[in-house]
A and B are shown apart, each in its own frame.
Chain A
Amino acid sequence: MPISYGSEHCDHRLGEWVPPAEGASNLARNYRMREHTIGSAYFLYSDRLPGRTDYAAETRRRFDTYAEEWTAQTSHLSVLGRRLMHPSYQKIIGLGRDALPLILSRLLSRPDHWFWALRSISGEDPVRPEDVGTFDAMRDAWIRWGRKRGLVR
């Protein structure tokens, strides 16, 4: 939903990523002055406007459902292409950047081949070429990447 307060409107919508270059932190300060709390420089949300809590909870619910489906239906497969093309894995990629913290937490709690999803969503790849196929090295590279960005503890 578009964010608005009185007659003023924000160009961005709830749940949208706002890069720092577009002045996300100024946006947060200005709206805070109007008693709306708008969150981090990267993720635009509000505690007061309807939908924010629902949106985050809905994203988590969807992620958990898709992740369980994917795990249950593909864990026995050795060929990664068959696992990564599963509809539930593709739906997780479709959740976009909202899923990054969820995937990284899951990578720590229930290690699995989430690396392709992380690459696809982030557009980045912190794994060294010589480490591809070595699970622990790949996991560690992504966890370091996520911690630098405040996406995982």
Chain B
Amino acid sequence: MANDLRALFPKLDAQNHRITSQEDPRYNCVAWAARDSSRWWDHLYGYWPDGVRRDPAIEAYVELFQRLGFESCNSPEIEPGFEKVALFGKAGEFTHVARALESGGWTSKLGRLEDIEHDSLDSLADDADDSYGQPLVFLRRAQANRTPSA
């Protein structure tokens, strides 16, 4: 599986990531970032909170995370007392979200594949077809304000 991931994400190598789960079609990156591993969150045909517009645009997913108590911030850098997520996009559409770890790295669920911890956002960034594009939006939530996923 590790070799398969490196074929999909050319910037991953043996040093900059580690696999932290098995493949699982039950949840995706959005669910994982929202700390919910029981559902697939998706605007088209998945779990979607009431009142959030169903739209592939990255703004719709920003709205989704705002509903969970996140607010925009300027950088992915660690800030004490806050948890952060980074939204990836291409051509204006959402593609992926990673959640920051207190250690300074990131954790991502790769579609229906494994969870991984990775050192940087750049290790998943790519502009090839069917890639995640680039990290475009950073959001933070005070750890004391963490609301349960809906």
Contact = CB atoms under 8 A, between A and B. Distances in A.
Interface stretch (B37-45, B67-75, B135-143): B37-45
A76 B111 contact: yes
A115 interface: yes
Nearest to A85: B44
Nearest to B42: A80
B110 interface: yes
Given A113-B112, A132-B46, A134-B39, A78 B28 contact: yes
Contacts of B110: 76, 78
Nearest to B47: A133
A80 B112 contact: no
Given A81-B42, A133-B46, 17 more contacts: A74-B130, A75-B111, A78-B42, A78-B110, A79-B44, A80-B45, A80-B46, A81-B44, A81-B56, A82-B95, A82-B130, A132-B47, A133-B39, A133-B40, A133-B42, A133-B48, A136-B26
Contacts of A136: 26
Interface residues on B, range: 20 to 34
Interface of A: 73-84, 111-113, 115-116, 132-136
Contacts of A76: 5, 8-9, 110-111, 113, 130
Given A78-B95, A132-B46, A133-B47, A112 B25 contact: yes
